[in-house]
Structure 1
Amino acid sequence: MKNVVITGTSRGIGFELAKLFAENGHQVLAISRNTKPLSTIHHPNIKVISIDISKDDDIDKVVDFVKNDWKKVDILINNAGKLINKPFTELTSDDFLEVYKVNVFGVASLTKSMIPFLKKNSHVVTISSMGGIQGSMKFPGLAAYSSAKGAVITLSELLAEEYKEQQIAFNVLALGAVQTEMLQEAFPGFKAPVSAKEMANYIFNFALNDHQFYNGKVLQVSSTTP
């Protein structure tokens, strides 16, 4: 049984991941601003906390729970994401900051707060995007989102090096198109080849097992070319 912290669990991949880990006997701390979707399930293995990961005071709530109830974290999945789709000339500094607060700063803050509880053989998995991969196809309107997803890739590579002596693995999954609410918000009407549940199954197995084989790596998880 693992203690698993997952962000962005109100919908899509994060929601499916929380259910999957819980149904397989693991303890899940599900973090999102909207807790209603998972709370209505009433699964005994899921603890839901309403927080905004871009706010340090909210992250303290996660630390308090782990310190008092778990003592250690085996898996941290940084799944929460913020997307703003606007032409570059219409993006404001506040837009960039809003996206980076969740996709980069929030990831950094939560990960930093969990470091004392991550022991040998623990695994931090950060969900990025193919849009953050150098040389991949890029889409107009996603300057803030894709650049943030690129930043978090480099952050994870650095953390893998910094904590290799403690044997904490840090890896990134750069996802292609997945049929989620966020995708529909960005590209209305687009039909992705992979469902949120299918991708959750892949991430579930990767988070549990693949820290034995990867550290500081970015895996491109996409069924389309490029």
Structure 2
Amino acid sequence: MEYVIVTGTSRGIGFELSRLFADAGFKVLALSRNDKPINSLKHENIEAFPFDVSSKEDQDMLFKFLKENDCTVSALINNAGKLINKPFLELTDQEFKSVYEVNVFGVASMTKLVLPFMNKEGHVLTISSMGGIQGSAKFPGLSAYSSSKGAVLTLTELLAEEFKETGPAFNALALGAVQTEMLEEAFPGYKAPVSAVEMAEYIMDFALKGQKLYNGKILQVSSSTP
């Protein structure tokens, strides 16, 4: 069975992305801590179960699922993210680490787990943020979030180099403002020029075709600040 794997699918871009892939006929493995929203679609092309990218137990469960079902993964979309909006001096060490557990270590663990099930033509696509781009506009309260999003951009470049002979391809999209619940948490009251569905359509297209022309690249997908 060939799958597209999407993490962070309970809401926003991940939810819409899973639905779009499934509607287009792809088998989707939709992974998020809360699997109820995606399962409520009752879509025949979506397989979903509760999954925390920072949980070793959940990672072992996923590996077992992929192995027992003889799965091939054509695309892994690392979309799960955690955001805490709090002044740096008020941010506890545990809160800072918890953001990195999802946004950095979760991406690394998921990628390492799924790679044995991908072939040379596969695509590992990590969803980052304009906040992680050096020289971009920065905002108070997002020290943990934006710095973690910068870390996965460099990780993407390194993995592309390490696997350039064997594949798959590794790319990252640094997104600008998209109208999601997470944006509301970061910038209360701000209205983004792009909807979650519009961005999901772009990401789906890039996940399917981008690896043919790009590897180890960071694309800035933004028409606004933030």
Give the conservation status (yes or no) of the 8 Å contact 1:3–1:70.
no
* Structure 1 match to 2:172: 172
Please report the TM-score for the alignment, with normalisation by the length of structure 2: 0.97
Please report the TM-score for the alignment, with normalisation by the length of structure 1: 0.97
* Structure 2 match to 1:145: 145
Measured after TM superposition, the shift of residue 2 of structure 1 is: 5.3
Could you tell me how far apart the structure 1 residues matched to 2:225 and 2:23 are?
Answer: 34
Identify if the C-alpha distance between structure 1 residues 147 and 77 changes in structure 2 by more than 3 Å, giving closer, same or farther: same
Measured after TM superposition, the shift of residue 49 of structure 1 is: 1.6
Aligned length: 226
* Structure 1 match to 2:122: 122
Measured after TM superposition, the shift of residue 186 of structure 1 is: 1.5
* Structure 2 match to 1:217: 217
* Structure 2 match to 1:28: 28
Measured after TM superposition, the shift of residue 225 of structure 1 is: 5.5
* Structure 1 match to 2:86: 86
Structure 2: runs of 5 or more not aligned: none
Measured after TM superposition, the shift of residue 3 of structure 1 is: 1.6
Could you tell me how far apart the structure 2 residues matched to 1:161 and 1:147 are?
Answer: 22
Write out aligned runs for 1:1-226 (5 A).
3-224=3-224
Give the conservation status (yes or no) of the 8 Å contact 2:2–2:72.
no
1:164-198 Cα offsets, whole Å, 9 max, x none, are 11121000000000000011111111100000000
SS of corresponding position for 1:127: strand
Measured after TM superposition, the shift of residue 70 of structure 1 is: 4.2
Measured after TM superposition, the shift of residue 58 of structure 1 is: 0.6
1:73-111 Cα offsets, whole Å, 9 max, x none, are 110000000000011111111111000000000010011
1:143-179 Cα offsets, whole Å, 9 max, x none, are 0000000001111111101111112100000000000
1:109-128 Cα offsets, whole Å, 9 max, x none, are 01100111111110000000
Identify if the C-alpha distance between structure 1 residues 218 and 52 changes in structure 2 by more than 3 Å, giving closer, same or farther: same
Give the conservation status (yes or no) of the 8 Å contact 1:7–1:31.
yes
Q: Percent of aligned pairs with the same residue?
A: 65
Give the conservation status (yes or no) of the 8 Å contact 2:2–2:71.
no
SS of corresponding position for 1:171: strand
Give the conservation status (yes or no) of the 8 Å contact 2:177–2:225.
no
Measured after TM superposition, the shift of residue 224 of structure 1 is: 1.7
SS of corresponding position for 1:5: strand
Could you tell me how far apart the structure 2 residues matched to 1:163 and 1:78 are?
Answer: 18
AA of the residue aligned to 2:203: I
Could you tell me how far apart the structure 2 residues matched to 1:82 and 1:55 are?
Answer: 14
Could you tell me how far apart the structure 2 residues matched to 1:189 and 1:224 are?
Answer: 15
Runs of 4+, deviation exceeding 2 Å: none
AA of the residue aligned to 1:194: V
Could you tell me how far apart the structure 2 residues matched to 1:19 and 1:36 are?
Answer: 14
AA of the residue aligned to 1:74: S
RMSD in angstroms over aligned alpha carbons?
Answer: 1.2
Could you tell me how far apart the structure 1 residues matched to 2:42 and 2:193 are?
Answer: 31
Measured after TM superposition, the shift of residue 11 of structure 1 is: 0.2
Could you tell me how far apart the structure 2 residues matched to 1:70 and 1:84 are?
Answer: 38
